[in-house]
């Protein structure tokens, strides 16, 4: 089996305790029971758990594993793991390898050192991890260490969710429940609905030797200083361009490592900005997709180091060029394989599709602020609204065909569907191409793309769990409204037509198919009454609104305390990130940039003296020296002021006021320091400048 296809087939999922592996290794009764547990139709009993755990242990040991760990996603936004070995001492002083159903199902990591937003006191340490049996267990190798990883939820001793996965799993349940109610009212036979996700991941690759010389990249993940490169992305030659061999080798190893873990990495290409790339997977259920995306980000960073590069996942690592997002392609699929957002050949008379489309449109319009809050963080604040990313205004792109149907519905009823037709390119050797019924819109924050919605506002560092559990919940809430209305109807056809007509009339304002980047759209959106929450702080503050508290409480996705805790955690994270960036800026300014510039000014002053001693006018040198001295003075003054402003903001106790202070006062102070420094970079001798430039980092591979 030397063929690439055979090799890939052998590699894919080789480190996953997959359904195939379970069927091979579990007794039939245990496998059958476990499948019922995965479907939510039975509880996992101790005896079955013991059988499964033993089979997992044997499989893992055969793979070289010595430890197992409960792998979970605390509110840090990254993952956490606590490793325990399989060994168990025996009476004769030796050890045997054991792994029980209890150890598989539940773990007990220390909960006190993870962000809790006040849900736990520091001295209250007990927390629990619970096995998410719907996400596959896998083997991961870190150096020589091989461990069995068990995807888990994480909660406190009081049962409060301390992670990102628990509310995601809860939202999946409520979406399933409400979607099935609607389907039953419409007369379909489907008995369950799952949300699916395919998150595209954007990232930058920079040579490791450059990152090691940039304190900002090492500590902040983005450049807080840096003059624009003479060449950026304006030639538009990087997007989909041929792969650099070094980058292609990285991608080859990345794919192989991900395929071993069962991550269906499908698409790879150069992105718009120089040194920027993208990876996209095949769709899976939203919790598995979230786990896989966390693995993808982690694997990207590890594999990059092996190739002498660093993978930057920050939303805006370089000013003036495109930032990175995570495009969440989301849909709903029934247990019998029906994609509820598939329009079909004649979407105007596909009533199931229209009802679910209307549910999404109403949900996004009604809860636009929540959608915006779900993608709010310090990095994304630099990206959203820039000229390459969706603005902070939430709108929906439906495309020509669906917008036309929506307009027909609002006018009384949909009668026709626009067709795509064929494209003939005028070359005899090229075949006619089937043309889609609508174009795509890459400027839209929430775009319909054929049989799914693409939520393009999500930041590249973010877990997909937060934006997805919000989307699941708000759509479920609207489906609950629809089901309650349709279940009472004596004539379901008339009731459904009346429902979709009303939604089309009431929510046309959220539909926008034009250029979301323009100032004209911002003005138009304001006229339509659409919110424009530009800052992270502004976005997160709305989470305390009564209607949002009631929304999550009603559907048992988050309690009032859990929502409040998440708000506090996100605000604190924002303040801490800006504080780290400000402290890094002060250190780089005082210890690197200012000393280098002062040295250059000294050299220039010596040159002025030498030239004048030779009896030659040194007007140009003097003018340059005055300019540099003025910039040094401005930067030094700005740095001192930044340090004072930063310290004052950091001493604020209230989370909201602190975050506001960092946004309103610290960030502008940082911009002042950067402006002087970036100007100095364009003047000071390249041999003296203390750190790699944008041109080097973006174009040297």
What is the gyration radius of the CA atoms in the chain, in angstroms?
28
Q: How far is CA 138 from the centre of its chain?
A: 22
Q: How many CA atoms lie less than 13 Å away from 212 in the CB half-sphere?
A: 6
What pTM was computed for the model?
0.94
- Give the strand pairing for 446-448 and 396-397: parallel
Q: How many CB atoms lie within 10 A of CB 108?
A: 13
- Provide the token pair at 134: 């719907």
Cα–Cα dist 216/678, whole Å: 14
According to CATH, the topology of domain 171-225+233-538+545-558 is: Creatine Kinase; Chain A, domain 2 (3.30.590)
Identify the architecture of domain 11-163 in CATH.
Roll (3.10)
pLDDT at 317: 96
- Per-domain residue ranges of the chain: 11-163, 171-225+233-538+545-558, 574-699
Q: How many CA atoms lie less than 13 Å away from 621 in the CB half-sphere?
A: 16
Cα–Cα dist 80/536, whole Å: 25
pLDDT at 4: 59
pLDDT tens-digit map of 279-290: 999 999 999 999
Domain pair 11-163 / 171-225+233-538+545-558, same fold? no
pLDDT at 490: 93
Cα–Cα dist 316/223, whole Å: 8
- CB-count exposure of residue 527 (10 Å: 0-12, 13-18, 19+): exposed
pLDDT at 139: 97
pLDDT at 1: 42
- In the chain, count of helices (H) and strands (E)? 25, 19
Which segments of the chain have a pLDDT < 50? 1
Cα–Cα dist 225/593, whole Å: 10
Q: What is the 3-state secondary structure (H, E, C) of 562-613?
A: HHHHHHHHHHHHHHHHHHHHHHHHHHHHHHHHHHHHHHHHHHHHHHHHHHHH
pLDDT at 89: 85
Q: What DSSP element (H or E) covers 446?
A: strand 446-448
Q: Which residues are 328's β-sheet partners?
A: 199, 455
Answer for the pair 268, 185: CB distance below 8 angstroms, yes or no.
Answer: no
CATH class of 574-699: mainly alpha
- Give the strand pairing for 193-207 and 265-270: unpaired
Q: How many CB atoms lie within 10 A of CB 348?
A: 21
Cα–Cα dist 446/248, whole Å: 31
Q: How many CB atoms lie within 10 A of CB 402?
A: 26
């Amino acid at each position: 089996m030397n063929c690439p296809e055979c090799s890939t087939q052998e590699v894919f999922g080789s480190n996953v305790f997959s359904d195939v592996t379970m069927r091979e290794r579990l007794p039939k009764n245990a496998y059958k029971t476990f499948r019922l547990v995965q479907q939510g139709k039975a509880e996992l009993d101790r005896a079955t758990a013991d059988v499964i755990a033993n089979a997992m242990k044997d499989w893992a040991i055969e793979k070289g594993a010595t430890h197992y760990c409960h792998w979970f996603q605390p509110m840090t936004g990254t993952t956490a793991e606590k490793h325990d070995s399989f060994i168990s001492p025996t009476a004769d002083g030796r050890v045997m390898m054991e792994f029980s159903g209890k150890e598989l199902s539940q773990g007990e990591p220390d909960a006190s050192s993870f962000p809790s937003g006040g849900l736990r006191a520091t001295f209250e340490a007990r927390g629990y991890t619970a096995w998410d049996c719907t996400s596959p267990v896998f083997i991961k190798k870190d150096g020589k260490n091989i461990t069995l990883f068990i995807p888990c939820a994480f909660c406190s001793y009081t049962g409060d969710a301390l992670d990102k996965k628990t509310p995601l799993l809860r939202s999946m349940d409520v979406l399933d429940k409400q979607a099935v109610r609607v389907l039953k009212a419409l007369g379909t036979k489907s008995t369950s609905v799952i949300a699916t996700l395919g998150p595209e991941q954007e990232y930058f690759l920079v040579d490791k030797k450059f990152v090691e010389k940039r304190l900002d990249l090492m500590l902040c993940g983005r450049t807080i200083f840096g003059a624009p490169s003479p060449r950026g992305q304006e030639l538009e030659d990087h997007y989909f361009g041929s792969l650099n061999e070094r980058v292609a080798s990285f991608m080859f190893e990345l794919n192989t490592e991900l395929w071993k873990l069962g991550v269906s990495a499908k698409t790879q290409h150069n992105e718009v900005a120089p040194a920027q790339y993208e990876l996209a997977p095949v769709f899976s259920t939203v919790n598995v997709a979230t786990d896989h995306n966390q693995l993808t980000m982690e694997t990207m960073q590890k594999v990059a180091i092996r190739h002498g590069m660093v993978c930057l996942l920050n939303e805006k690592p370089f000013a003036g060029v495109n930032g990175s997002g995570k495009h969440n392609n989301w849909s709903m699929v029934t247990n019998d394989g029906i994609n509820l957002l598939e329009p079909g050949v004649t979407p105007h008379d596909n009533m199931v599709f229209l009802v679910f489309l209307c549910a999404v449109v109403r949900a996004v319009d009604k809860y636009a602020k929540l959608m915006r809050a779900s993608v709010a963080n310090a990095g994304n604040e630099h990206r959203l609204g820039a000229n390459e990313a969706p603005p902070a205004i939430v709108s929906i792109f439906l495309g020509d065909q669906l917008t036309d149907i929506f307009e027909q519905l609002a006018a009384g009823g949909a009668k026709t569907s626009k067709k795509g037709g064929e494209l003939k390119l005028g070359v005899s050797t090229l075949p006619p191409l089937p043309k889609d019924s609508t174009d795509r819109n890459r400027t839209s924050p929430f775009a319909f793309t054929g049989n799914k919605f693409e939520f393009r506002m999500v930041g590249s560092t973010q877990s997909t769990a937060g934006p997805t559990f919000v989307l699941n919940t708000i759509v479920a809430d609207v489906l609950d409204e629809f089901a309650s209305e349709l279940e009472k109807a004596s004539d379901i056809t008339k009731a459904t037509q009346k429902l979709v007509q009303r939604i089309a009339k009431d929510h046309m304002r959220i539909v926008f198919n034009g250029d979301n980047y323009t100032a004209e759209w911002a003005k138009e959106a304001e006229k339509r009454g659409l919110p424009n929450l530009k800052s992270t702080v502004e976005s997160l503050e709305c989470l305390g609104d009564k209607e949002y508290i009631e929304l999550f409480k009603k559907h048992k996705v988050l309690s009032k305390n859990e929502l409040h805790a998440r708000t506090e955690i996100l605000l604190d994270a924002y303040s801490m990130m800006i504080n780290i960036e400000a402290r890094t800026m002060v250190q780089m300014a005082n210890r690197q940039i200012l000393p280098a510039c002062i040295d250059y000014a000294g050299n220039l002053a010596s040159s002025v003296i030498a030239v004048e001693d030779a009896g030659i006018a040194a007007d140009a040198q003097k003018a340059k020296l005055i300019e540099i001295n003025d910039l040094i003075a401005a930067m030094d003054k700005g740095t001192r002021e930044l340090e004072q402003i930063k310290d004052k903001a950091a001493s604020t106790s209230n989370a909201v006021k602190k975050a506001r202070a960092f946004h309103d006062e610290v960030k502008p102070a940082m911009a002042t320091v950067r402006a002087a420094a970036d100007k100095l970079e364009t003047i000071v001798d390249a041999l003296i400048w203390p750190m790699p430039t944008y041109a080097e980092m973006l174009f040297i591979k």
